Structure 1
Amino acid sequence: MNHSLQGRTALVTGSTSGIGHAIALAFAREGARVMLNGFGPPGQIAAARAEIAAIQGGETPYSDADLSKPEAVRKMCADATAALGQVDILVNNAGIQFTSPVEEFPEEKWDAILAINLSSNFHAIKALLPGMKARNWGRIVNIASAHGLVASPFKAAYVTAKHGVVGLTKTVAIEVARTGITCNAICPGFVRTPLAEAQVPPLARTHGVSEEVALTDYLLAKQPSKRWVEVEEVAGMAVYLCGPNSGAVNGSALSIDGGWTAA
């Protein structure tokens, strides 16, 4: 590790597992103090906090804020500021998914996905940007998706939200362009997480093929690399965007998708 984030503080949403936890780990290893947020079994949350604490020393702050509620997002940001002293880096990673044809899409699922995947980003940025402006330094990283750039069927709410995240990213970037703050989006393809890997066996059974074929020919059909994106690859990009020599990267939607959006 290069300790490129030494002395920085970071709030990473959805960081008790998956991509968010990988980013939090990478930040801690680079010297940042990190606050976690997310849901999950108590044992999983305790393990995630302990893993970060072992790296950064001292107790790892944690918020169980329900990001579908604006007031909870604002309180999380206030708690992070109190726990860390200030928040230099905000990573908006939390997200949920649901698939259905548009005409059958449950309205409550639409509302929940838009609230968590998009609106929570806005509320967190709004809450923390004034402090970043006062210090004339900050990094905002929004975890969008390849679906922030292109669409797939049956994912109306997710695609809409992630396109919105890319638009929000560009707008904030323009507004802060003459400050020491940047705002960028990372757009991963299919990332290897337990939830994603769990989709492979049912696909294999449905199509009567091996799990390897189910992965490459069905789940990763749009991903030319035919391999998972690893959480560490996404975390590495986040570290770069928050570290030295990244100040001119602003308003970008950076693809980590094995060539998906190049096709």
Structure 2
Amino acid sequence: MGDMLKGRTALVTGSTSGIGLAIATSLAEEGARIALHGLPKQEEIDAALAQIGATGAEARFFDGDLRDPDKVEALVAAVADWGPVDILVNNAGMQKTVTIAEADRAVWDAVIGLNLSACFHAMRLVLPGMKARGFGRVINIASVHGIVASQAKAPYVASKFGLVGLTKVAALEYADAGTRESGGVTVNAICPGWVETPLIEPQIAARAEQHGGDRDAAVRSLLAEKQPSLRTAEPSDIGAAALYLCSRAAHNVTGVSLPIDGGWTSQ
């Protein structure tokens, strides 16, 4: 285990699997204490705690439905009682594929509530403390859909565009906090394209049936329309990017929306 983040406490929302767990693991490997969060089954919680524990880092699990602002406040307060939040990764999110005509108020409120409003509330609660201590890192997991749009994703795209904008405003407001020596306070977004998580496995499996069971051909087919590299990212790739943004070397990297998308948003 490294010690770049030794003594730091990181809250990673939606972190019992997928991208969130990969980010939490990367931070733990550099010594951060990890506040895991989610609404999973107990076996998923146990597995996530075991994965973080294997790095030698300390970890605790916290729950809370972040679509409820009161639950966001309770979560941040509970983690802060454990240790000041030095790193906030807003990863929890949801997507609903639905046209504007088909969408109802409940879908809009749920997607905006989790993907955008929860991030705002967590940020407003932790950023003043980061400024007072001279060090802080906020990393918002946005999406390529915070940079470009796709059909039938209006609530999701709106939430991610909003998150990118929120990231920029917060970066400006806290740009002069701290010093080079203390590490400063930075706020950035990571914008993944296709990432190899369990969520996309059903789509890959369906495509593989059309390609004689060839999974690689299925992935290339799935990505062909959007992602020129024709290969997915792994969750650990996102974790590595998050770890760099938490480093002292990244003290002047703020307000960035970093695509990890195989060229998707360059087209």
**TM-score, normalised via structure 1 length:** 0.94
Matched, 1:245 2:249: yes
Aligned-residue identity in percent: 49
How many residues are paired up? 259
2:49 equivalent in structure 1: 49
Rounded Cα–Cα distance in structure 1 between residues aligned with 2:17 and 2:145? 21
Matched, 1:73 2:72: yes
1:256 equivalent in structure 2: 260
Are the aligned partners of 2:223 and 2:231 in contact in 1 as well (CA < 8 Å)? no
**1:114-129, aligned counterparts within 5 Å?**
114-129=112-127
2:192 equivalent in structure 1: 188
**1:19-30, aligned counterparts within 5 Å?**
19-30=19-30
The gaps in structure 1 that reach 5 residues or longer are none
Report deviation, 1:203: 4.2
Report deviation, 1:198: 2.0
Rounded Cα–Cα distance in structure 1 between residues aligned with 2:217 and 2:264? 18
Q: Secondary structure at the match of 1:77?
A: helix
Residue 38 to residue 161, structure 1, CA distance change in 2 (3 Å): same
Rounded Cα–Cα distance in structure 2 between residues aligned with 1:65 and 1:110? 20
Q: Secondary structure at the match of 1:40?
A: coil
2:36 equivalent in structure 1: 36
Are the aligned partners of 2:31 and 2:57 in contact in 1 as well (CA < 8 Å)? no
Residue 57 to residue 93, structure 1, CA distance change in 2 (3 Å): closer
Are the aligned partners of 2:29 and 2:57 in contact in 1 as well (CA < 8 Å)? no
Report deviation, 1:21: 0.2
Moved more, 98-107 or 11-20: 98-107
**1:112-261, aligned counterparts within 5 Å?**
112-179=110-177, 180-204=184-208, 208-210=210-212, 211-261=215-265
Rounded Cα–Cα distance in structure 1 between residues aligned with 2:28 and 2:62? 17
Rounded Cα–Cα distance in structure 2 between residues aligned with 1:196 and 1:130? 37
**TM-score, normalised via structure 2 length:** 0.93
The gaps in structure 2 that reach 5 residues or longer are 178-183
Are the aligned partners of 1:220 and 1:227 in contact in 2 as well (CA < 8 Å)? no
Rounded Cα–Cα distance in structure 2 between residues aligned with 1:249 and 1:114? 27
Rounded Cα–Cα distance in structure 2 between residues aligned with 1:241 and 1:110? 31
Residue 115 to residue 28, structure 1, CA distance change in 2 (3 Å): same
Rounded Cα–Cα distance in structure 2 between residues aligned with 1:97 and 1:142? 16
Are the aligned partners of 2:175 and 2:185 in contact in 1 as well (CA < 8 Å)? yes
Rounded Cα–Cα distance in structure 2 between residues aligned with 1:102 and 1:204? 31
Q: Secondary structure at the match of 1:104?
A: coil
* Structure 2 residue identity aligned to 1:140: V
* Structure 1 residue identity aligned to 2:259: S
Matched, 1:61 2:80: no
**Can you list the C-alpha shifts for 1:205-259, whole angstroms capped at 9, x where unaligned?**
5xx4445444222345200010111111100000000012101101000111011
Q: Secondary structure at the match of 2:170?
A: helix
* Structure 1 residue identity aligned to 2:16: T
Residue 105 to residue 204, structure 1, CA distance change in 2 (3 Å): farther
